[in-house]
A and B are shown apart, each in its own frame.
Chain A
Amino acid sequence: MTTQGDTKNGSQSAAQVSLLRDVPFRLENGAALDEVEIAWQDYGTLNADKSNVVLLCHALTMDQYAAGTHPVTGKAGWWANMVGPGKVIDTDRFYVLCLNVLGSCLGSTGPLTIDPKTNKPMGINFPVITIGDMVRVQAAFLDQIGIDQLFCVVGGSMGGMQVLDWTARFPERVYSAIPIATAARHSAQNIAFDEVGRQAIMADPNWQGGAYYGTGKRPDAGLSVARMAAHITYLSEAGLHDKFGRELQDREAVTYGFDADFQVESYLRYQGNTFVDRFDANSYLYITRAMDYFDIAADHDGVLANAWRHTQTRFCVVSFTSDWLFPTSQSRDIVRALNAAAADVSFVEIESDKGHDSFLLDVPEFFDILRGFLDASAQRRGI
């Protein structure tokens, strides 16, 4: 396998999947995986001293296709506005890697993976994984391709959790880090939302205890409801109001029924319906569970600052004013701990009415800040 020149900026080859050599891979829950596949994508060119690697960590339902055009859907990658030639994360300058997380259904090992003993997808027999497991798999993959240090680890939401885990677990491997719209632990409210989603899936009779593969039935209704509920948490009251208000959907008056009278209902149903075609319900259970278990302080005697004692990593923590899923207070907790650890940290709360999803959207102030931080860090690193 080569890592250089496989892909050109902006246009990707078909999925690149690598097998971890260092198996069985021991998980935090004590179980082990005999085989781990990592689906990954790269952009740009690795420089001679391998000092220009940027690792992108994706959020809950995303995949390795961050930039350019998605080879399967034909749509723009999830961070195509941020990553590319001449963009903020400049692929003319940086070698950008994005790996599909462990437990996903979009290329890497997860509940969809065939169990050689039964010749069927593992489904609910897949072991419960953690954010730490995801990060350790990424680190093992980087070992395998001979990349020791990351110039920057970047990610929002669950991607931000991975960024924080990277900096706490492998501080010497991370030169700079940008955790965005995230938290050092999943809040009770967020665990609650995750549980609503999981219950919606498991209450769907088509879920069949997780063994729905090959039965011709999928828990689409449950997964769709899970996505609808979650999607609301990614937006904001003001954002929803601006977009939909109380506008009716293709009608002049309410129908006094339970059809989608309102545009916002129609929008959510659409979000739910399209989601089931690209995501696996069991994967959704596993990944949300991994987020629930995330609590960096718990792994450091209950003191968050202990996670970053003696860290040399440069941090840029970013939150958004209207994000109520990962509110600014949770970013401040991270910053407070980093300050207590005397870390080199910047923190900005960016004004946006687009809610949690702001980190995926065109917010000029956000782009300026990331660009400034990356430029200054690259200069110091001599890139």
Chain B
Amino acid sequence: MSVSDNDKSVGLGRAGDIRVDLLEISKMVEPGSRVLDIGCGDGELLDILVNERGADARGLELSREGVSASVARGLSVVQGNADTDLVDYPSDGFDYVILSQTLQAMRDTRECLRQMLRIGKRTIVSFPNFGHWRVRLKLLLGGRMPETETLDLPWYNTPNIHLCTIRDFVNLCEDLGITIEQSYTFTHYGKLSSRSMPLWYTNLFGDQGLFVLSYDDDGLDEWIDDNPAGA
């Protein structure tokens, strides 16, 4: 099974036929915006963005099957690898750059974040929370790599090479000077605004984190100097 096949099976709660995090993300995008969806799969989110939000939305997808399906349904998607191809996109070319449930599969997480913040005025990131209590419990009591509804593949066959907790991600943003404009967590019971909940709570009970990020463009240059690509 290839990485790309796995992307589709990163299991998440579903509302009807659409992943809940995708629905939430689509609502965050201002109508008519320019959007780049990285790791867009078969174009599920792009379709909503284009047809329901009137967005000028493009996709980048690793798998041939995903790209074919997307283009065949009329979406603008390029077959490529986010680890290497984001450098080709012009700065501030998009209003939003979206990376849903793919951050943990990126080879160079920080570089990926930097490129997204450079390309987009805002970056929307969602990822499975490795700090969820079920994950902690499985490792603590079972002594084995946790497999959950969200992380449903065995350790030897997972594309998720850079898993993190919500707290880890918040700390990374602080370290890199990234502004967290909005943050949410999803639990079994729905979406929670992190503003109303302490971090220890969301990090324990959130299945996944959803963040809207931005970065001061001047600072981005400094970051480039401090963190050369691939560092």
Write the residues of chain A forming the contact surface with B, with a CB cutoff of 8 angstroms. 314, 316, 332, 335-336, 339-342, 344-351, 365, 368-369, 371-373, 375-377, 379
Contact = CB atoms under 8 A, between A and B. Distances in A.
A373 B89 CA distance: 22
A369 B64 CA distance: 11
B72 A335 contact: no
28 contacts: A314-B76, A335-B78, A335-B80, A339-B78, A339-B89, A339-B90, A342-B90, A345-B58, A346-B71, A346-B76, A346-B77, A347-B67, A347-B78, A348-B64, A348-B68, A349-B64, A350-B64, A351-B64, A368-B68, A369-B68, A371-B72, A372-B71, A373-B71, A373-B74, A376-B73, A376-B74, A376-B75, A377-B74
B31 interface: no
Interface core residue of B74, B89, B93 (most chain A CB under 10 Å): B74
Counting contact residues on chain B (CB < 8 A from A), the size range is 20 to 34
B179 interface: no
Contacts of B17: none
Given A335-B80, A342-B89, 8 more contacts: A339-B85, A341-B90, A342-B90, A346-B75, A347-B80, A348-B67, A348-B79, A369-B68
Interface of B: 56, 58, 64, 67-68, 70-80, 85, 88-90, 93
Nearest to A365: B68
A152 to B, nearest CB: 14
Contacts of A335: 78, 80
Contacts of A368: 68, 72
A340 B78 contact: no
B76 A339 contact: no
Contacts of B75: 346, 376
A26 B87 CA distance: 41
Contacts of A369: 68, 71-72
Nearest to B70: A346
Contacts of B67: 346-348
Nearest to A377: B74
A88 to B, nearest CB: 11
Given A339-B88, A340-B88, A345 B71 contact: no
Contacts of B78: 335, 339, 345-347
Contacts of B77: 346-347
A349 B71 contact: no
A381 to B, nearest CB: 12
A314 B58 CA distance: 11
A368 B56 CA distance: 22
Nearest to A378: B74
A336 B88 contact: yes
A359 to B, nearest CB: 16
A349 B63 CA distance: 10
A340 B73 contact: no
B74 to A, nearest CB: 3
Highest count of chain B CB atoms <10 Å: which of A371, A375, A376, A377: A376
A345 B64 contact: no
Contacts of B72: 368-369, 371-372
A375 B74 contact: yes
A56 to B, nearest CB: 20
B43 to A, nearest CB: 10
Contacts of A336: 85, 88
A345 B88 CA distance: 13
A371 B73 CA distance: 9
B71 A316 contact: yes
A230 to B, nearest CB: 28
A303 to B, nearest CB: 13
Contacts of B88: 336, 339-340
A344 B76 contact: yes
B60 to A, nearest CB: 9
A372 B42 CA distance: 13
A292 to B, nearest CB: 27
A348 B93 contact: no
B68 A345 contact: no
Interchain residue pairs A-B with the least CB separation, the first 7: A376-B74, A372-B72, A347-B78, A339-B88, A368-B72, A336-B88, A342-B93
Contacts of A375: 74
B88 to A, nearest CB: 4
B90 A372 contact: no
Contacts of A373: 71, 74
B75 to A, nearest CB: 7
Pick from A332, A336, A346, A376 the residue with the most CB of B within 10 Å.
Answer: A346
Given A340-B88, A340-B89, A342-B90, A348 B74 contact: no
Contacts of A348: 64, 67-68, 71, 79
